[in-house]
Structure 1
């Protein structure tokens, strides 16, 4: 009886504290009934502790049954979510009807906007813990890490993203349109996450990851990036670092004046270094195409 009550109230979603308080109210009810039936109230009072012990034991059993049923329901919910995510991330092609059914099961809008985040290695554990505490975040395990996604079109979406990704080395995109687009976005972000340096801290966006992605593509073509910068081998190592630093500082703003201020030198010094960089590499950083290539080549 006690276990049935606890399980039933758990399935109904009753608050546990309210349930336990209600059960403990049995004591004054029973005590009043016994007093009405008793011919010797004084003798009955001497056994009040036994009545309280019975009620207390009953409350503990209800409490335990409630928590046990909650654990079962939570595991069932996790199993249901895993099955839905397996379908979402599975090989079957996305379609409008499938996405609508999956969205209903996951409690999201099929045509909504989603935030998607990929984290690897040790940072994945941090992301899992924060997602579990935040609620409303769906997790998908991937090789060496985890992918998380959540509705990003609500007023609290930005705060949720910040809580999830602060100090976590990850790649995040909070403008993925439609539930059916989440798996492809997750796969792309996971590939980008593999390119993060070991000392990375905090979230990166795809817009800021493109130099790393492009550099990896160049490196995959027989070290093309190194060959394009081979002209720097004619300079001393210390000069190479000076030219590299000046080039990157200039590329941040495209302004010689701002680069000179950041480097604490005269603007003519910056111009001389940029010309030296051009002679060695053939890249004129004042030309947009050359500047875009230099951004990729100088990415470490």
Structure 2
């Protein structure tokens, strides 16, 4: 909805008459104005001459009619022009400058047209021209920014469609999409999955989703992988054909899932095999962890958490009872006692390789899934209890 420019309550008759004389010369003035605007703004070179001339004539006629008869002046055509210029890529500053050039030209035309007796009223009425410019400039800014937002949205939707085509199975569409996105079909690629707030490296072709950001990064063979900071990232192993992007993104997503929410870090697929294995099938991991740790997890919260913390510490310290006792601030015999209870409750010994592996996987599942509860926005413990992992 555009607001019209409303004339002053009492227009000066002599200024109105002067405006009417210039209105009769609109075509002549518009030709000279178009020449001046094109000379003053190189960025308007992308605008066809006939388009610029038509806009100059329209704006002069609209303004002079407004000043001659006191009618309200709509900004609709000005906003339409701003949108067209935005779509052509004319900078906003250049567009606004062209209107200032137009207002200056109109003032000079008034001065040249006015007789000696009209100079005084001309000076008294000058503020109307500059007030009109300010109102037009605000309308231009609004329309231009709206057009920019629409253009950016269309570009993003187009880019998203192209990115999605990379994940398909049609080799022709994959090649066409890669070309449109500026990606080679062969080379050295990495797929990246990141949380929505993370910043992706320069040069990455990305896709923004509600819960994550996906990207493809093409790197020359000798170029090191760029640093990633400010969030959680999962990175695929390098691959050499763009048609392998779908598989690589699956691995990148698994690597991302291996970094607990709330942590900051980069996980390359294969760096965290246990966490990645759990992330690849969380429901299965939950079910198996419940089967291994079920009796322990059924204990009262305080007792359960103490035994879990002891087991985590013992594994983290490489099976050293003494070092686990140090970080837990307790005696090593206390650690031994708690590990004995763990073995009794689970039927598995931390000293038996296969049984210890089963315990470690179950404990890591509990730890990683608990991190999701504690650190994921909007996820409550009660919500998580409705999933396969029901002991917390």
TM bin (shorter chain): 0.5 to 0.7
> Corresponding residue for 2:7?
none
Q: Does 1:106 align with 2:181?
A: yes
- Corresponding residue for 2:4? none
Deviation digits for residues 185-219 of structure 1 (CA, Å, limit 9, x no counterpart): 5556768999999xx54468572353465673255
Q: Secondary structure at the match of 2:193?
A: strand
Closer, same or farther: CA 218–183 of 1 in aligned 2, 3 Å = same
- TM value normalised by structure 1: 0.66
How far is 1:282 from its partner?
4.8
Selected match of 2:350 from 269, 276, 285: 285
Does 18-27 or 206-215 show the bigger shift?
206-215
Count of residue pairs brought into register by the alignment: 270
Aligned Cα root-mean-square deviation (Å): 4.4
User: In 1, distance between residues paired with 2:339 and 2:332?
Assistant: 11
- The counterpart of 2:324, out of the listed 259, 267, 272, is 259
Distance 1:248 1:62, change over 3 A: closer
Alignment partners' CA distance in 1, 2:98 and 2:225: 38
The aligned counterpart of 2:381 is: none
The CA deviation at 1:69 is 3.0
SS in 1 for 2:194: strand
Structure 1 contact 139–148 (Cα < 8 Å) conserved: yes
Q: State the distance in 1 between where 2:301 and 2:109 align.
A: 94
Q: Distance in 1 between matches of 2:149 and 2:311?
A: 58
Unmatched segments (≥5 aa) in structure 2? 1-54, 56-77, 367-392
CA-to-partner distance for each residue in 1:234-291, whole Å, 9 max, x for gaps?
Answer: x999766544332221112213222110111223432444355445545342455433
1:173 Cα offset (Å): 0.5
The 1:265/1:213 distance shift into structure 2, 3 A limit, reads farther
Select which of 301, 306, 314 maps to 1:250.
314
Residue in 2 aligned with 1:115?
A: 192
User: Which has the higher Rg, Structure 1 or Structure 2?
Assistant: 2
Instruction: Please state how far the C-alpha of 1:23 moved relative to its aligned partner.
Output: 1.8
TM-aligned CA distance change 1:28 to 1:246, over 3 Å: same
- 2:228 matched to which residue of 1? 158
For 1:122, the equivalent position in structure 2 comes to none
RCO higher in 1 or 2 (8 Å CA, sep ≥ 6)? 1
Number of the residue aligned with 2:70: none
| Shift in CA distance, 113/211, structure 1 to aligned 2, threshold 3 Å | closer
SS at match of 1:146: coil
- Whether contact under 8 Å (1:215, 1:296) holds in the other structure is no
Tell me, in whole angstroms, the C-alpha distance in 1 between the residues paired with 2:94 and 2:225.
32
Gaps of 5+ in 1: 119-126, 166-170
